[in-house]
C-alpha cells in the first residue's frame, strides 16, 4: 500500500534536518518550553519509550493513564506554536510516541479534486511513507472510517503493507470539522488500551487547524485577487508594478503597462443590467488569461471595467503588438443583445533608470491618460482603438480635453442628476484667478460636448470665430476675453436638455422644439448665475439666439437692445453650424455659408457684424 519515498540520500537529508530541529528545540520537536512536561508524562525512562529506542522489541507495557490536563496543555502548545500542518503532524507524532508509546502515526487528508485521501505515515525511526487512497475503495479500513465518520480499531496493521508494523494495532480516528470529514489520523501501537478521548482530542484539533489554514489561504488569495474575474486586484497589481520598476531601476531594460477599458459599459449596465456587465467583464478576463498564458505578464481587474497588464522586459512595439492581439481577440466576441466587444486601450513604456517615466505613479497616470484619449476617440468613431503615451504630451490640450470629455460623458450616464451635480460643483467653486476661470469654463465646455456629441468641437470653434470678429472690431482686450469665454459656453444650457432631443436626427416636434429653446435660460440662470465669477458671461449665453428683427428667443430683444457680445457670438455660432456636417446634411461651403449670412442681415443678424465677418471668413480655418 505504501511507498517509502525516502531513498537513502533522501532519508539521510531528512534525518539531518530533523536532527537539527531536535537540537534547536532541546532535542524535542515539540519545543523547549514543554520538554519538562513531556519528561513528566513519559511512561518510563526505559530506552524502549524514547524517540529512537528499541523499535523492534515487543512492548507489552501497560500504558499508565495520562494526566488529561497536562496532555491538553501540551497539545494546545503544539497547535498554537506551529504554522504548518506538517510541523503539527511531526510534533503530534513525537508527543504520542513519547507519551502514549505509539509505534507510528499517520495523517490522511482529503484531496477533493482527485477524490482521494493523501496519507503520510511516520514510524519511530522517523521513516516516512506516503500513499494515495481512492475514496471509492471502501474495503480499506481507512476509507471505511472516513466514509462512516466512526472510529475503527484494527487488531493489526497489515492493510498498510509495511512489514515491521504488521503486528501493531491501529486506531483510525476521523478528522471532523462542523460535521464535515476532512480526513483521518492513525495511531499504531502494541497496546490495545489506548486512551480514545486523548486521540479524539488530537483529531479534533488537527481538523480545526487544517480548517483555519484553509481559511487563511482563502483570505490571502482574496486579498490579492478580484472575486469576479480571478485576476489580481487593484492593490496587488500596484505592488507588482512597484516591484518590477524597482528591479529594472538600475538596468537598461523596458517595462510596459497597458490599461484597457470596455466601451459603453455604463450604458450596457443601464440597459441590460449589471449581470450582463459582469458577464462581459468575465469574458474580457478570460481572454486576458488565455493571451497571457504562462508568460511573464501580470493581469488585473483594475477598477470597475478597467483592466491593467504589467509587462516586464517588454518594449513599446511588443506591447502594441500584444494590445493588437487582445483587441482582435475581444472584437471576435459577439455578445447577445450588445454585439461585438469593443475596447479602448492605452499603452505606456519606460526604459531603465534614466527614463523620466520610470516612476510607478507616473506610469499608471500616463497609461490611464492614453486610455482616456483612446476612449474619447472611440466615442467619435464607435470602434476600438489603441493609443500610446508617446503619441501625446501629458498636459497638452488633446490629453486634457479627452480626459475631461470622458469623465463628463461617464457622468452623464448617471442620469437626471448630472445637471444638479455639475451646478453644485460650479456653485461651490472658488475662482481665484483668470487661469482658474479658464479651467472652469473649459470643464463646462467639455460637459457640453460630452452631452451633445454631434456638436463636438462646436463650442471651441465658435469661441475662436467670435474672438477673431471681436478683434477685427478693435474691442478692448478685456471685452475680447469675455467674448472668447462666453462663446465657449454659449450652449452650456444644453446639459439640461434630454439626450433624446439633443441626439434626434429627424425634425423636432413643436413640443421638443419648445424644450430645446429653453437652453439659453438654463445656461444663464441655472449654471452661470450660481457662481459670481461667471456673471459677466450671462448676456452672451442668454441672448445669443435673439434675432435682430425681434423674432428670436428667449426675450424677443430687437436690434441694438441685444448686447453686442451676444450679437457677435450669434454670427459665429450660425457660421460654424452652416459649415459643419450634421446627421441630416453635409456642411456647406464657405461661400454658401457667407451668402446665407448676407441674406439674413438685419433679419437674424446685425448687418455690420455680418459684413465684417464675411471679410474674415476666408482667413479662418476650414470647417471642423
Q: 121 with 236, same domain?
A: no
In the block, cell 493523501 appears at 118
Q: 462 with 608, same domain?
A: yes
Sheet holding 169-177, edge to edge: 128-134, 116-123, 104-111, 180-189, 169-177, 152-154
Helix axes 234-248, 360-381, angle to 10 degrees: 120
Residue where one domain finishes, among candidates 223, 257, 273: 223
- Tell me, what's the pLDDT at 38? 33
Q: What is the CATH number of the domain that holds 526?
A: 1.10.3210.10
**Nearest residue to 346 (alpha-carbon basis) of 329, 368, 364, 377:** 368
Residue 286 within any structural domain of the chain: yes
Q: 432 with 560, same domain?
A: yes
At residue 386, the 3 state secondary structure works out as: strand
SS3 content of the chain, % helix, strand, coil (to 5): 55, 15, 30
Q: What is the CATH number of the domain that holds 334?
A: 3.30.70.270
- Tell me, what's the pLDDT at 180? 87
Cell numbers for 99: 507519551
- Tell me, what's the pLDDT at 141? 94
Residue 3 within any structural domain of the chain: no
Handedness of CA 122, 125, 126, 127 (dihedral sign): negative
Q: 319 with 436, same domain?
A: no
Cell numbers for 357: 517615466
Residue where one domain finishes, among candidates 159, 189, 223: 223
Report residues of the chain scoring pLDDT below 70. 1-68, 215-222, 249-250, 352-358, 379-380, 393-423, 425, 428, 432, 443, 446-456, 583-584, 621-624
- Tell me, what's the pLDDT at 11? 41
Q: 555 with 608, same domain?
A: yes
Cell numbers for 422: 455639475
Q: 400 with 460, same domain?
A: no
Q: 255 with 326, same domain?
A: yes
Give yes or no for a contact between 494 and 505, defined as CB atoms under 8 angstroms apart.
Answer: no
- Tell me, what's the pLDDT at 85? 84
Residue 55, domain extent:
8-223
Between CA 291 and CA 262 the distance in angstroms is 17
Task: Work out how many domains the chain is built from and give that number.
Answer: 3
What is the tens place of the pLDDT at every residue in 37-72? 333 433 333 333 333 333 333 344 444 455 667 777
Residue 1 within any structural domain of the chain: no
Residue 95 within any structural domain of the chain: yes
Q: 162 with 94, same domain?
A: yes
Q: 590 with 502, same domain?
A: yes
Residue where one domain finishes, among candidates 223, 246, 275: 223
Q: 210 with 324, same domain?
A: no
Q: 286 with 270, same domain?
A: yes
Q: 15 with 113, same domain?
A: yes
Distances (CA, A) of 155 to 48, 145, 168: 22, 15, 7
Alpha carbon 447 to chain centroid, angstroms: 27
- Tell me, what's the pLDDT at 10? 43
Between CA 180 and CA 244 the distance in angstroms is 43
- Tell me, what's the pLDDT at 21? 44
Amino acid at each position: 500500500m505504501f511507498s517509502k519515498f525516502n531513498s537513502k540520500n533522501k532519508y539521510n537529508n531528512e534525518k539531518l534536518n530533523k536532527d537539527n530541529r531536535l537540537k534547536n528545540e532541546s532535542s524535542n520537536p515539540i519545543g523547549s518550553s514543554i520538554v519538562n512536561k513531556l519528561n513528566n508524562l513519559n511512561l518510563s525512562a526505559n530506552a524502549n519509550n524514547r524517540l529512537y529506542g528499541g523499535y523492534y522489541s515487543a512492548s507489552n507495557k501497560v500504558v499508565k493513564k495520562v494526566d488529561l490536563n497536562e496532555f491538553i496543555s501540551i497539545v494546545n502548545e503544539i497547535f498554537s506554536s506551529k504554522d504548518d500542518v506538517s510541523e503539527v503532524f511531526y510534533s503530534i507524532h513525537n508527543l504520542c510516541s513519547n507519551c502514549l508509546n505509539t509505534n507510528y502515526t499517520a495523517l490522511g487528508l482529503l484531496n477533493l479534486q482527485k477524490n482521494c485521501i493523501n496519507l503520510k505515515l511516520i514510524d519511530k525511526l522517523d521513516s516516512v511513507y506516503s500513499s494515495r487512497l481512492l475514496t471509492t475503495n471502501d474495503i480499506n479500513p481507512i476509507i471505511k472510517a472516513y466514509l462512516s465518520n466512526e472510529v475503527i480499531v484494527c487488531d493489526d496493521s497489515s492493510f498498510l503493507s509495511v512489514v515491521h508494523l504488521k503486528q501493531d494495532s491501529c486506531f483510525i480516528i476521523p478528522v471532523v470539522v462542523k460535521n464535515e470529514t476532512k480526513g483521518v489520523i492513525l495511531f499504531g501501537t502494541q497496546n490495545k488500551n489506548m486512551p480514545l478521548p486523548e486521540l479524539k482530542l488530537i483529531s479534533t484539533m488537527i481538523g480545526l487547524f487544517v480548517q483555519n489554514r484553509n481559511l487563511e489561504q482563502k483570505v490571502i488569495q482574496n486579498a490579492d485577487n478580484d472575486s469576479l474575474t480571478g485576476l489580481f486586484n487593484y492593490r496587488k497589481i500596484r505592488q507588482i508594478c512597484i516591484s518590477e520598476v524597482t528591479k529594472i531601476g538600475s538596468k537598461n531594460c523596458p517595462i510596459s503597462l497597458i490599461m484597457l477599458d470596455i466601451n459603453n459599459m455604463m450604458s450596457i449596465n443601464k440597459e441590460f443590467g449589471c449581470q450582463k456587465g459582469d458577464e462581459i467583464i468575465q469574458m474580457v478576463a478570460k481572454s486576458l488569461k488565455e493571451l497571457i498564458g504562462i508568460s511573464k505578464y501580470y493581469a488585473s481587474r483594475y477598477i470597475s471595467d478597467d483592466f491593467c497588464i504589467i509587462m516586464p522586459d517588454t518594449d513599446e512595439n511588443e506591447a502594441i503588438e500584444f494590445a493588437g492581439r487582445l483587441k482582435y481577440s475581444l472584437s471576435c466576441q459577439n455578445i447577445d443583445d450588445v454585439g461585438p466587444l469593443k475596447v479602448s486601450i492605452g499603452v505606456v513604456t519606460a526604459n531603465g533608470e534614466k527614463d523620466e517615466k520610470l516612476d510607478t505613479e507616473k506610469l499608471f497616470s500616463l497609461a490611464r491618460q492614453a486610455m482616456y484619449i483612446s476612449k474619447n476617440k472611440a466615442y467619435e468613431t464607435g470602434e476600438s482603438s489603441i493609443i500610446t503615451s508617446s503619441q501625446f504630451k501629458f498636459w497638452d490640450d488633446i490629453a486634457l480635453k479627452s480626459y475631461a470629455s470622458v469623465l463628463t460623458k461617464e457622468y452623464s450616464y448617471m442620469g437626471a442628476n448630472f445637471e444638479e451635480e455639475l451646478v453644485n460643483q460650479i456653485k461651490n467653486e472658488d475662482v481665484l484667478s483668470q487661469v482658474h476661470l479658464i479651467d472652469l469654463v473649459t470643464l463646462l465646455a467639455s460637459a457640453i460636448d460630452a452631452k451633445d456629441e454631434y456638436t463636438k468641437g462646436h463650442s471651441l470653434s465658435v469661441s475662436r470665430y467670435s474672438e477673431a470678429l471681436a478683434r477685427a472690431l478693435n474691442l478692448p482686450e478685456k471685452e475680447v476675453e469675455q467674448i472668447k469665454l462666453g462663446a465657449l459656453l454659449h450652449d452650456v444650457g444644453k446639459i439640461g436638455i434630454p439626450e433624446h432631443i439633443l441626439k434626434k436626427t429627424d425634425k423636432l416636434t413643436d413640443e421638443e422644439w419648445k424644450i430645446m429653446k429653453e437652453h439659453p435660460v438654463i445656461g444663464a440662470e441655472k449654471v452661470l448665475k450660481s457662481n459670481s465669477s461667471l456673471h459677466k458671461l450671462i448676456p452672451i449665453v442668454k441672448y445669443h439666439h435673439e434675432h435682430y428683427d425681434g423674432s428670436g428667443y428667449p426675450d424677443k430683444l430687437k436690434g441694438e437692445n441685444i448686447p453686442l457680445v451676444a450679437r457677435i457670438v450669434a454670427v459665429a455660432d450660425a457660421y460654424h453650424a452652416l459649415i459643419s456636417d450634421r446627421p441630416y446634411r453635409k456642411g456647406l461651403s464657405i461661400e454658401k455659408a457667407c451668402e446665407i449670412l448676407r441674406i439674413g442681415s438685419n433679419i437674424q443678424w446685425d448687418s455690420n457684424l455680418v459684413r465684417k465677418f464675411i471679410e474674415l471668413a476666408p482667413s479662418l480655418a476650414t470647417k471642423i
